[in-house]
Amino acid sequence: MSDHCLVLSTVASAEDGERLARALVEKRVAACVNVLPGVTSFYRFKGNVQREEERLLLIKTRADLFEELRRTLVELHPYEVPEVIAVPITAGHGPYFSWLDDCVS
């Protein structure tokens, strides 16, 4: 994994999105969390195909903080099986990465 990553997760409500985003940034395991509304998710759960309106969380962090971020997100997340997917960031704007590094511990 590269030095930085984008972590994806989904939640059912704006309130849960804001609560999780604030907790991750306050704990300094994420530099920024975007909460995007208007995501329609189709998935299979417990043998049934589900359709839900959700919010997508785009969480920016350092790769070395992923496990702590994952633990925190799973602990606070209302879903029985929350989505927590890390995607390596392979390139970007150097000053943004410097800012990101300054924001997390």
pLDDT at 1 over 50: no
Please, which residues have CB within 8 angstroms of residue 102's CB and are 6 or more apart in sequence? none
Please, which residues have CB within 8 angstroms of residue 50's CB and are 6 or more apart in sequence? 41, 42, 43, 44
Token representation of residue 103: 């924001």
The alpha carbons of the chain give a radius of gyration, in whole angstroms, of 14
pLDDT at 39 over 60: yes
Long-range CB pairs of 14-21, under 8 A, 24+ apart, other chains included: 14/55, 16/55, 16/77, 16/78, 17/55, 17/57, 19/76, 20/57, 20/73, 20/76, 20/77, 21/57, 21/59
Residue type, 51: R
Tell me the domains of the chain and their CATH numbers.
4-103 (3.30.70.120)
* pLDDT number for residue 56: 98
31 touches 60 (CB < 8 A): yes
pLDDT at 43 over 60: yes
pLDDT digits (tens, 9 = 90+) for 55-93: 999 999 999 999 999 999 999 999 999 999 999 999 999
